[in-house]
Amino acid sequence: TKLWCIKEICLIIPILNTLQKRIVALSEKHIESIMPGYTHLQKAQPITFAHWCLAYNEMLLRDKLRIDDTLKRTSINPLGSGSISGTAYNIDREQLAKWLSFNTATSNSLDSISDRDYLIELIATATISIIHLSRLSEDLIFYNTEEANLVELTDKITSGSSL
């Protein structure tokens, strides 16, 4: 399970990096593009589109920091812990960890066999990222409406149906 989580985390990190780069590039094109800032769907203070973009860059930065921390805590090898108190085989757990691309081996076999923290942490971290992406999507959907009319989304990613 830990190896699967590590693999998935390693897929998430470049996606977050790419999204951040694209958001920063978009913001650089719109440093002087003024738009209304919204609060509770009401126009508020004027902001730049770049400022709006960089708010999401900040969220993604926090997401990346969380996922990096999750990777560190997940990348601890439990193998050799046995069913509760280790193994009778003469193995080098640190070497085994290196062979399997873990950062290190766990320290306590009793904790190792029951630890599921990394799963909860990965789910929580992914959920926070999904909430940020949902917020980004909702903003873009609103900004694309006839009322706001701030962006135009390509037909490749929109449809006229709620399906």
- The catalytic residue positions are 40, 161
The CB-based long-range contact list for 78-84 (8 Å cut-off, 24+ gap) reads: 78/2, 78/105, 78/106, 78/112, 78/113, 78/115, 79/105, 80/105, 80/109, 81/106, 81/109, 81/112, 81/113, 82/109, 82/113, 83/113, 84/109, 84/110, 84/113
The owner of tokens 């470049």 is: 14
